[in-house]
Each structure stands twice: as C-alpha cells, then as structure tokens.
Amino acid sequence: MKQFQYTRPSTQQMALDAISKPGAKIIAGGTNLVDLMKRGVTAPDKLVDINHLPLKNITPTHTGLHIGSLALNSVVSENELVLQKFPLLSMALKAGASPQLRNMATVGGNMMQRTRCTYFYDTTMPCNKREPGTGCGAMEGFNRMHAIFGTSNQCIAVNPSDMCVGLAALDAVVIIAGRKGERRIPFTEFHRLPEDHPEIDNHLAKDELIIGVEIPDNNFAKNSYYLKVRDRQSYAFALVSVAAALDIDNGVIKKARLAMGGVAHKPWRLFDAEKWLIGKPISEENFKQAAQMAMAGAKGYEYNSFKLNLAPATINEALKHAAGLV
Amino acid sequence: MKDSAINKEGLSRIDGRLKVTGAARYSAEYTPAGMVYGVLVGSTITKGSIRSIDTKAAEKAPGVLAVISHFNCPKIPGYQIASTEAGKPEPKGTYKLFYNNKILFNGQPIAVVVADTFERALFAATLVKAQYTSQAYQTSLKNNTASAFAAGENGESKRGTVAAWKTAPVKLEQEYVIPSEVHNPMELHSIIAHWDAEDKLTVWDKTQGVKDTQDGIANIFKIPKENIQVNSKFVGGAFGSALQVWPHEVAAIIAARVVKRPVKLMLGRADMFTSVGYRPHTWQKIGIGATEDGKLVGISHEAIGQTSTYEDFNEEPVSVSRSTYACPNVNTNYKLTALDIGSPTWMRGPGEATGAFALESALDELSYALNIDPIELRLKNYAETDPESGKPFSSKYLNEAYKMGADHIGWTDRSPKPASVTKDGWLIGYGMGGGMFGAYRDQATCRAVMIADGTLLLQTAVSDIGPGTGTAMVSIAAEIMDIPAGKIRFEMGDSSLPYAPSQGGSSITATVGSAVNDACKELKEKFSQLAGNTETPDYTKILKDHNLSKLEVTTASKGGDNMNKYAMYSWSVHFVKVCVHPTTGVVKVDKVVCVADSGHIVSPKTARSQIVGGAIGGIGMALMEEVIIDHRYGKLVNNNFADYHIPVNADIPQIEALFINKPDPYINPMGAKGMGEIALIGMAGAVANAVYNATGKRIRQLPITPDKLIGINQSAMVNGS
C-alpha cells in the first residue's frame, strides 16, 4: 500500500479545509475505502478521519427526522424513531452487508460507497470508472450483477447500497456542508447516472461533506416493505431489490413510493409507476401493471437479462407485502 | 473409572477450548527469531512467456531483502532430475516454481519478494513489473471438449452391454454440469520455513499430512527426509487443498535459503482461488433406462473434466454409476480437457460428489418418469453385493438409512406431483440423494506411553484438519484403557512422531484409530503381565510397584486379508425440504436430515459436526458455489468472499445428523468407517431434486441461483456460451 498521511481535524471547518487539498479523502467507517486502498483502486495521499465530528445524532425536526451522516448503519436500523416513523429504512439497512459491517458503516459512507463491479476492483482489467478511457470490462464480460436502467456506453455498473434505495423511496433530502455554507439536495438527485463520466458517482463536490439526511414525515409506516432478492440470505448484494411504500385509505392508494436497487448506477425511483398507482385499489393486478410500467426503457445484457423478469416480479411482491396482501 | 464426559453423546472436542479462546496456534502463528516475510507476485497474463522482470524498484523499496524469480532462483535439484532425460518432452506433473520463463496460467507465481515486514513485502510486490510475450489461451471447458482425451487407463469401462439403457421401456438422457468450486478453508494456506543448517530444514506448514509434506519437500530439495521437521499442530480446514506441496511452500523454502532467515509466506484470499487447487468444472451426460416396474436396465455415464496443461488430474466422477446401484449394464467414459488454468485437486468427496450430483439427479428424473417414489426406486435396485467386483460388502445398512431419513424429514408429506404444494406463497418440495465412498484402512503407527502420574500419552504423526481426530482417538483410548479422557494427551502434527498417513479419503479414524486401539491394547496387556493378569490394571500402582517412571509401546497397525475379501464402503442419504419463491426464484433450505451408514460411531459429537459441515458444503455446491472466469482474459472474476458465495448462517436450517451406528465386522477393531466425504456426496443432488419437486423445474447446471428458476436460464460465463 502506498504511504499516506492521516489527519483528524477537530472541527467541521477544519475537516472541510483538509478535504479540499488534492489527494485528500474522507474516511469514516472505512468498510469500502480500506478495501479500495488494499486493492490499489484508490491511493489517497491523505486520509481525513471525521469519525469524532458531532454528526451522529438522530433527532426529530418540525417536518421529519434528521439523521447525522456519522450515525452507524446498525444504530439507525434499531433507532426507535426510525422503526416507528420509517420502518422501510430499517428494513433496507438490515438487508445490507452483515452485522459486523453495519456496526462500522455510517450513513454518509454508505452513500459514498463505490460499485462492486468486479472489473472496477481488478486493476489489471479495463474500467472507465476506475481509469477513464480504458473501456468497460463488464459490457461484454461477466455482467450478471449489472444495470438494466440508465446505462451508458461507458459503464453499466450498479450502486450497491440498500440503505440508499430506502432513502430514495422516502423522499429524503441530503444536507451538504461546504466551505461557503450548507446546501440541500433531494436524495434522488445525489447519485448520478454514468453518462460520459462514470468516474463520478454523485454530485458531491470534492470539498464538500455530507452532514446528514432528513426524511420528511409521511404516512407510509404502516404499509412499507423492502424486498431484496439475492444469491444467499445475508452478506450478498442485490440481484434486484425494491423499496415499496404505500399510503392506503380504505383499500385505495393515496400515495405510493417505489425505488429499486441492483438495477442502475443510482437508486432507481419508479416515478411513473408511483403516479399510476394513485387512486387505484390495492390488488395484485394493479401491482403487476405498475411493475410492467416500471420496466419501460430497461435493457438487458448477456448475463443479466434475467433481471428483466426478476425486477417486475420483485416490484409486485414488494407491493403485495407493503399492502398486506401476503 | 469412566469419564463422565464420555456418555452416549460422546466426548466434547478436546481442543475446543483452545480453539475458541484463540490459544490453539496455527502454522502462521509462530515467530522464529529473525523471521521475515515473503509475498508472491502473480502473472498477469494467462499463457506465454516472461521476457523480462524489472525488480529494481522493488529491490530499492524499504525493508526489501530479496526478489527471487526464475532469473536468479537457486537450482532446485528435484526439478532438474525430473527433466534431464534429453530429447523427451517434459513429463507432466506438479507445476514447477521459478523453473523457466513459461506462463501456464493467470496468477502463476513469477517472483517472491522478501522484506522485513509483511506490509513492506506486499507493497514491494506491487513494484515488480514483468514484460511478457502472450500466446492464445483456452480457459473454457465448453469450447474445448473436442480436444478431450481419455483420463488414464480407466477412462473407459463397460459391464454388460454398452448403451443397453436405450433398449429399456422407460429411459432418459440428460446433461449435468458443475462449475469449478474452491475449497476456501477459513485458515489461509501458510508456511514458515527455516533452514537450521545447509541441509536441515524446519517448517510450520498448513498440511493434511506432515509425513507426506516431509516426503514432498525431500523430493523437491533432495535432502534426507530425516533432516526435515514438519510441524502442523492445528489446521483450520483444508478439504483436500493441503494434500500436496504447493508452489508457495517451495517459494518460502527457497526464500529462506536465499535470505538465510526464517521466511513466512501466507497466501491472500484471492491467491486461495488460484494457488491450491479446486474441484474441476465437469460436464456429464447420463443415459439411464429401466423396466416399467423400475428395475434398472442400463446406465451410461460420460464425463469431461477440466485439468491443466501440465498435469492430468483424474478423479473419476463416473465410478459412482458402476457401484451405487445394482444394474447389469453400465458403461462409463471419462475424459479430460487441458485448459490454461492451474491444476485442480482433490476436494471433499472428489469425483463422487461430482458424479453423484448427476447420478442422483438422473435417478430422480427416472422416478418421475416411472411414477415410482424415489426411495422405492433405489430399494428396487438395491445392491446386496458390490456390483462392480461381485464381492460381498463388509457391511451395508443403507436400506435402514433410507427409512430413518424418510421418517425424520416427513417424507410422507411429499407430493409425487411437482409444483403442487404451496405454503404462505412459497412452493414446497422434498428431495433425496445418496452418496457412497470407499471405506479405507491404511497403515499407521502409534506410540502409547503410560506415565507415573497416570497420564497416557499417545503420539502419531497425523494432522487434524477439523473433523476432531484427537477427540476420536482419545475416545478410543479411554474406552480401552478404562481411564478418564482428561488423563489422555494426544500428540500429533509433528513429523518426528510415528508414521500416520495424510488426512484424506475419509480414512483416518479407521487407520489411526486402529493404531491407537492396538497400541492401547498392547500397553494394557503389558501392564497385565507385569501385575499378573489383573483385569483392569491400576496403572500408577503397577508403575510404582515396579519402580518404573513409565511404560510404553510403539505399535504398527494395518488391515489384513479382509480388505481384499470384502467390498468396503460408507453410505449416506440426504433428505432435504426446500421452499422456493415462485416469482423471485429464491430457494430456502427449510430442513435437512442426513443419515450416515459408516459403521460404529467412535465420537458422536464430532461425527455429528462432520455431517453438518458436509451438508452445508453440499448446500453451497447446490445453490451458490461457482468459479467464474472471464474467458477474454483467462482470469477469475470472483476471487473473493463477497463474489464467490458460500452459505452463511442465515442460509442453513437445523440439520439433523443421524447414524446407523452398527459396527462393520471386518474393517478394523472399532468397526468404524470413514465419514468425511459421504457427508457431502449426494447432497447437491438432494437439493436439486427437492427444487424440482417444489417447482417442476429441473436444474442440471449448478449452482441453482434465482435467475435459473425464473424462466430465463442464464448460464454463467464459466460454463461458456
């Protein structure tokens, strides 16, 4: 491993100064970054350890719940307010990684984790995300785990997070600090599609720090479900996952939220399907139709075209669970 | 006086406390004075030759003591002798490290970097840059079956009429494929090598056999084997991956010679996929036919397995079709395809596990075609004598095992109609599959020493890779000597101790157990003679009366004529209940019952554990394990535990391990037969059969992942397309 400097700024301002320097990278739980460093995928000159900054709070606000970016995945998943207001987030978190990893991983770090595409991790292989211009190893390679939505001719990698799928469905807002102050962006606009710059995963600038996410209050708690289909029951990335949240009044859907994981370079919100479900009675027929609608524009590759069948099946199942039909 | 710990359930693992407290020291956990660290550099091409290796940057890196490659490697005498016959092609055999500039597979070690710390060695290894001349390579079995050649002399066999199955009123022919699977024991392979003198070597090595490792090193380095001390006190799993001297072991020994200091070399997890063998990717085709009432008419079993270009690895997956069921006409054909990938090796249930997946699947398919219960079909074709040799079995109670397993899984709940039972939105299915493996007894020697304080010391050079060999041996000795298990010390994993074979082929309890049995009986007899025919000698009193500090015997033990008179096998049958989600294709194993017919159970607790471990291995084989190679690069793309899946706790239900527990009268004094392999053999078929019963979908290409059950049958890259 390349030698690097390590620093622990004592204030947020000092952290922001430190990360603006070339070659500096933030480390929090380190569950992904350390692997990337070991594999030679990234080689920072300086690690800025932010673990002791006061960003661990989970506190109610006037309009929802604020979760600090350093709150641990395990803590968030067991938090009483989260369980009561947004059980979907807890389910998504618990579907991710393993208990050991969740004990280390933070909310901000989870958002910043890189794809698990095998060609990205193997430095002898081509990868536009790791080394722009070298090509995409996955496009005509082993792409069973890869994207079916929003791909570009540069990259077909997926975002591996479960938590992010839950937060995308819950209309969360990301709070970002920069040296000039704070800004807020919708969670669904935090991550980006690969387009011509697959090396850029999200819209966080190099000198910015995620300080938390805020989830607005909603009426989904009773009818939400996170369904993750994977090759084994724990410690496996999603083939397809679905976060489904419904606001149901008398058997009729007032509001719906749907997001998918394992299918795109970002958590994939199903806006059209959500809109279509409004005013519809809960029924498997309607759910299947919504699921079909969600598949518009999907494109399979050699080894992942099963996802074209699996994704709608998973949407339907998740909606059935959310609606209490299972 | 009996030890209260040895009751019906048996002795608890004698080294359990050491293992769970971390006090057990594995081969990497020694620190001889002056020890330094070796890290291998792997080839980044798949086939060709090395033009040059730039080691300057690595040599200048902090703490680096040496960079060794074929350019500067001291001559390895064992390699030279094997290849001096001028004019003849190099004989096939184990891959030779740093021997020449040829690259035979991706990841092949091309250099070892030695530095004063592990981290420095690891970093310097990234600075070694080789220039290669690449050649075209072949890594796909499917694309290269045309070049397959007969696997040894037994490549082809026939009993009765060839292809007789085709004449049967009910028949089917299907292809079955297993991908490569990697042993991946928890403990990484590791060695510490230290030259005590010019021709004297000590190693702390992960090995399944200290004596075989001693022989292996002696052959490679041409030094007397008495001059080589091999220590392997604890082994954290191996499953066949530690049955030979691998290149990384040779690298450490050479490095220690060059830097004149002890060198530790531990493989990383990624190296574990390319450096210590794997179960070979194998294609099989079975033709099977029966009469309307279910009597087998004939079986044809073909297989093509993967091997390397430098070694013919032959594990005979087709043999199961010759010996499992009574069938008059059986023809088998086994071929190998040489690929530009490192050699496969023995992996738990070698050959049989692969063959049984095909055979037990085919039997299940036949049972549906005949509309006969799968157990009934097996009983109709029950072999009362060995179908292959005609010899009587030394013992066989498999029919009882079928019944016991069926009762415990609730076989009567199984619907003979596939995809007809659902519960809570999940399809429910039951399946079964059987396994068999030769029951062997090799020779071994045990020294038994009764010390004045009443401690019995047992010494033999066996390794314990995890099944609980020490516990079984202490159980045997406690029973014979009639002393508490706590008074017995079992010493092993040391090449200076009396001979024992490598732990492999499910033979150690039968072999070393016999030596312990014989030594203890001889020692007890010696005491009786001293005391004048006491039935249960008071050992400490007799020693004291005769003014002796100890009394010892060294006893060699081996099987007699019965080994030839009888066909000796262990049998298992696995019953599985699965739940399959009809639209997402997720398979959950809901219940497992395994029954072993392996003679007398010497150590019930560790035997149970062995069955459970084998069953989990079988579930992994059925549902998850698969080496994936990107044939464009000839390289593995899932060489880590995140991408190469083995079961986690959440995947495993309660597993019931049951034993027939009837002694075999002929194999050895305990009546015990091996169990390690049969714990896994047949399990993958049982799972696949249960999935069929649940869904009506027959998956003939492992692993059974959700994508294969939801309609579009995606074959993974390794299986070619």
What's the pLDDT tens digit per position in B315-340?
999 999 999 999 999 999 999 999 99
When pLDDT is cut at 50, 70 and 90, the band that residue A1 belongs to is low
Which pLDDT value is given to residue B717? 35
B114 and B265 Cβ atoms separated by less than 8 Å: no
Record the tokens describing residue B236, joined without a space.
Answer: 């954290």
The three-point CA angle A300-A301-A304 to 5° equals 75
The confidence score (pLDDT) of residue B720 equals: 35
Query: Does residue B218 sit in helix, strand or coil?
Result: helix
Is the Cβ–Cβ distance between B317 and B354 less than 8 Å? Answer: yes
CATH T-level topology, domain B36-135+192-273: Aldehyde Oxidoreductase; domain 3 (3.90.1170)
A69 contact partners, CB below 8 Å, separation of at least 6: A28, A55, A106, A107, A108, A111, A209, A210, A211, A212, A213
Separation of alpha carbons B446 and A31, rounded Å: 49
Shortest distance, CA B64 to any CA of chain A (angstroms): 14
**A119 contact residues in B (CB cutoff 8 A):** 637
Give the torsion through C-alpha atoms of A279, A281, A285, A291, to 10 deg.
40
Give which of A168, A181, A131 is closest to A244, Cα–Cα.
Answer: A168
Instruction: Give the integer Cα–Cα distance in Å for B3 and A146.
Output: 59
What mean pLDDT comes out for the span B473-487?
Answer: 97
pLDDT band at residue A113 using 50, 70 and 90 as cut-offs: very high
* Res B238: pLDDT: 97
What are the residue ranges of helices labelled H in A86-193? 87-95, 99-102, 107-112, 118-121, 163-169
How many other C-beta atoms are found inside a 10 Å radius of the C-beta of residue A216?
A: 13
Name every chain A residue with its beta carbon within 8 A of the beta carbon of B126.
Answer: 40
| Residue whose tokens read 């079928």 | B402
Q: Is A148 helix (H, G, I), strand (E, B) or coil?
A: coil
Distance of alpha carbon B585 from alpha carbon B564, whole angstroms: 49
Cβ within 8 Å of residue B571, ≥6 positions away: B396, B397, B398, B401, B434, B435, B436, B596, B597, B598, B678
The four Cα atoms A70, A73, A79, A82 give a dihedral, to 10 degrees, of 100
Contact B586 A229 (CB under 8 A): yes
pLDDT attached to residue B7: 60
**A4: contact with B, CB 8 A cutoff:** no
Provide CB contacts within 8 A for A3, sequence distance 6+: none
Distance from the Cα of A119 to chain B's closest Cα (Å) equals 8
What is the tens place of the pLDDT at every residue in B595-625?
999 999 999 999 999 999 999 999 999 999 9
DSSP A42: -
Q: Write down the domain spans for chain B.
A: 16-25+442-558, 36-135+192-273, 282-439+564-719
Contact between B182 and B22 under an 8 Å Cβ cutoff? The reply is no
Residue span(s) of chain A under CATH 3.30.390.50 come to 221-323
Is the domain spanning B282-439+564-719 CATH 3.50.30.60? The answer is no
- Asked if B220 contacts B96 with a C-beta cutoff of 8 angstroms, the reply is no
Residue A317 — very low, low, confident or very high, per pLDDT cuts 50/70/90?
Answer: very high
Per-residue pLDDT, B535: 76
Indicate the residue type of A223.
N
Q: How far is B35 from chain A, CA to nearest CA, in Å?
A: 21
Q: What value, to the nearest 5°, has the Cα angle with vertex A72 and ends A66 and A76?
A: 50
Q: Which fold has domain A5-51?
A: 3.30.43
**Contact call for residues B714 and A306 (beta carbons, < 8 A):** yes
What single-letter DSSP state applies at residue B716? P
Q: Which of residues 273-312 of A touch B (CB under 8 A)?
A: 302-306, 308-310
Structure-derived torsion over alpha carbons of residues B379, B381, B386, B390, reported in degrees to the nearest 10: 140
Instruction: Please name the member of B126, B585, B628 whose beta carbon is closest to the beta carbon of A142.
Output: B628
pLDDT (0 to 100) of residue B716: 35
Task: Give residue B536's pLDDT.
Answer: 81
User: Which residues of chain B neighbour A316 with C-beta distances below 8 Å?
Assistant: 583
User: Does the annotation count B677 as an active-site position?
Assistant: yes
Report yes or no: A229 at the B interface, CB cutoff 8 Å.
yes
**Candidate from A144, A231, A326 with C-beta closest to B714:** A144
Report pLDDT digits (tens) over A284-297: 999 999 999 999 99
Q: How far is Cα A76 from Cα A56, in angstroms, rounded to an integer?
A: 10
Q: What is the pLDDT of residues B334-387, one digit of tens each?
A: 999 999 999 999 999 999 999 999 999 999 999 999 999 999 999 999 999 999
pLDDT digits (tens, 9 = 90+) for B387-417: 999 999 999 999 999 999 999 999 999 999 9
pLDDT for B6: 57
Helices (H), ranges, B201-341: 210-221, 247-259, 319-323
Burial of residue B141 (CB within 10 Å: 0-12, 13-18, 19+) is buried
Task: Say whether residue B423 is in contact with chain A using an 8 A CB cutoff.
Answer: no
Q: Provide mean pLDDT across the span B684-706.
A: 98
What are phi and psi for residue B648, nearest 5 degrees? -105, 175
Region(s) of chain A under CATH 3.30.43.10? 5-51
Could you say which of A1, A122, A310 has the minimum Cβ distance to residue B119? Answer: A1
pLDDT reading at B83 higher than 70: no
> In sequence order, what are the residues at sequence separation of 6 or more whose Cβ sits closer than 8 angstroms to the Cβ of residue B341?
B105, B106, B139, B306, B308, B629, B634
Q: Which residues of A touch B647 (CB under 8 A)?
A: 232
- What pLDDT is stored for residue B431 in this prediction? 98
Average of per-residue pLDDT across A72-83: 98
Per the CB < 8 A criterion, the answer to whether A79 and A59 are in contact is no
* CATH topology agreement for domains B36-135+192-273 and B282-439+564-719: no
Work out the pLDDT band at A155, boundaries 50, 70, 90. very high
Interface-testing mutation among A42, A232, A292, with chain B (most B C-beta atoms within 10 A)? A232
Best mutation target among B625, B643, B721 (most A Cβ atoms within 10 Å) is B643
pLDDT, mean of residues B465-491? 97
CA nearest A217: which of A252, A182, A170? A170
Q: Span B546-553, mean pLDDT?
A: 98
Tokens of B635: 């390289």
Residue range A194-207: mean pLDDT, rounded: 98
Q: What is the pLDDT of residue B153?
A: 80
Contact A1 B122 (CB under 8 A): yes
CATH match of A221-323 with 3.30.390.50 = yes
Model pLDDT, residue B654: 93
Q: How confident is the model at residue B312 (pLDDT cuts 50, 70, 90)?
A: very high
Q: Is A286 exposed, middle or buried (0-12, 13-18, 19+ CB in 10 A)?
A: middle
Cis omega (within 30 of 0) for bond into A194: no
Three-state secondary structure string covering B567-614: ECEEEEEEEEEEEECCCCCCEEEEEEEEEEECECCCCHHHHHHHHHHH
pLDDT at B719 over 50: no
Rounded distance, CA B116 to CA B127, Å? 16
The whole-number pLDDT of residue B85 equals 59
- Judge whether residue B152 has pLDDT over 90: no
Is A243 exposed, middle or buried, given 0-12, 13-18 or 19+ CB atoms closer than 10 A? buried
Nearest to B317 by CA among B342, B346, B340, B291: B346
**Amino acid in the structure at residue A78:** E
Residue with tokens 């995620």: A210
Whether A262 contacts chain B with CB within 8 A: no
B560: Cβ contacts below 8 Å, ≥ 6 apart: none
DSSP secondary-structure letter at B651? G
- Domain B16-25+442-558 carries which CATH code? 3.30.365.10
How many CB atoms are closer than 10 A to CB A30? 18
Q: What is the pLDDT of residues B559-586, one digit of tens each?
A: 999 999 999 999 999 999 999 999 999 9
Which residue of chain B has the CA closest to A313? B583
Answer whether residue B715 shows pLDDT above 70. Answer: no
pLDDT value, residue B155 = 83
Is pLDDT above 70 for B589? yes
Query: What number is the average pLDDT over the span B641-665?
Result: 97
Out of B302, B316, B365, B677, pick the active-site residue.
B677
Percent of chain B with pLDDT over 90: 93
**pLDDT score of B711 more than 90:** no
Would you call B57 helix, strand, or coil by DSSP? helix
pLDDT at B721 over 70: no
**CA–CA min distance B99, chain A (Å):** 25
Cα–Cα distance for residue pair B327/B160, rounded to 1 Å: 9
On the question of pLDDT at B713 being above 80, the answer is: no
Looking at the complex, report in whole angstroms how far the Cα of residue A264 sits from the nearest Cα belonging to chain B: 18
Q: Is residue B92 very low, low, confident or very high in pLDDT (cuts 50, 70, 90)?
A: confident
Size of chain B in residues: 721
**At B3, is the pLDDT very low, low, confident or very high (cuts 50, 70, 90)?**
very low
Q: What pLDDT, on a 0 to 100 scale, did the predictor assign at position A2?
A: 78
Weakest-pLDDT range from B3-12, B457-466, B511-520, B688-697: B3-12
The Cα–Cα gap between B215 and B205 comes to 14
Sheet order of strands, B48-54 included: B102-103, B48-54, B129-134
Rounded mean pLDDT, B53-70 = 98
- B697 contacts chain A (CB < 8 A): no
